[in-house]
Amino acid sequence: MEKQILDYTLVPAGLLLMAAYHIWLLFFILNHPNKTVIGVNAFNRRFWVSAMMEDVSKNGVLAVQTLRNNMMASTVLASTAIMLSSVMAALMASKNGDRSFGVVFGDKSALGISIKYLAILVCFLLSFLLNVQSIRYYSHASILINVPFKKMSLSPNSHQLTAEYVGTIVNNGCYFWSLGLRAFYFSIPLFLWLFGPIPMFLSCLLMVSMLYFLDITSKSIWPSGASELEENHPHNGEGNRDTDGARK
């Protein structure tokens, strides 16, 4: 019973720490997007879509190839997530052997081990669903981004409105990709929970520190002259930080 107390204290503390960080990050993105790599990437993707749609005959292949690369990244994560989900389901269904391997402190009961496996399985399934949605948005964007709007008899503002709409779709695809990757991040502390609540809590501390380094920029890297567009689109969501290189 004394060992189970660690599960009742350290595990909720670690999960609360992860949840609190992401709530703070969401607040920071909504109110100060220019101080986050996430917000700046979302803003620059809108510029990229507008640039690609200015001349479809020159930029069409480049735009489709870029979206295809992003789609492949989502496909790899989705395939990995569903494979790991199958592995976890097989381990849960297996009744052979002692599944409390490696647990030094914490709950070693069959129910406790099953809850740990179920938590990891939920993370992988959630990652799969999020990445599938990302593929869906990228697929739509790959068609819309090559529509020759300048040759269509539309109102003068229609091109800008359409470019804005396509930019929103591309950003949505990146948001779902990044959320699917976050589900993978969450699975790491849950996996270490199999070895006890102490490794799980320590991994939560390390994970929050790493994510802060990836999400927040130490100086404003907002493009010059972007303040007007920032007012029109202040709430830029989460982007694909992990493909953008090191923290600036």
C-alpha 98 chain-centroid distance: 35
Tell me the residue length of the chain. Answer: 248
**What's the rounded Cα separation, in Å, for the pair 195 and 102?**
5
d(CA 95, CA 88): 13
Closest by alpha carbon to 174, among 43, 16, 34, 5?
Answer: 43
On whether residue 222 sits in a domain, the answer given is yes
Counted domains in the chain = 1
Residues 6+ apart with CB under 8 A from 241: 37, 38, 41, 178, 214, 215
For residue 12, what are the domain limits? 2-240
CB contact set of 176 (below 8 Å; sequence gap of 6+): 74, 130, 131, 133, 134, 137
Identify whether 19 is part of a domain. yes
So what's the pLDDT on residue 248?
Answer: 40
> CB within 8 A of 50, min separation 6: which ones?
160, 163, 167
Confidence of residue 15 (pLDDT cuts 50, 70, 90): very high
Predicted TM-score (pTM) of this structure: 0.80
Domain annotation covers residue 246: no
Distance from the Cα of residue 221 to its chain's centroid: 21
Cα(104)–Cα(7) distance, integer angstroms: 12
pLDDT-derived band at 3, boundaries 50, 70, 90: low
Token pair belonging to 118? 């179920």
Confidence of residue 134 (pLDDT cuts 50, 70, 90): very high
Average pLDDT over residues 147-155: 61
In a domain, 179, yes or no: yes
Is 37 contained in some domain? yes
Residue 245 placed within a domain: no
Q: Which of 55-69, 70-84, 114-128, 163-177 is the least confident region?
A: 55-69
Residue 149 resides in a domain = yes
- Residues in a beta bridge with 216: 36
What is the widest separation between alpha-carbon atoms in the chain? 75
pLDDT at 223 over 90: no
Specify the residue for token string 């002259």.
225
Residue 130 domain flag: yes
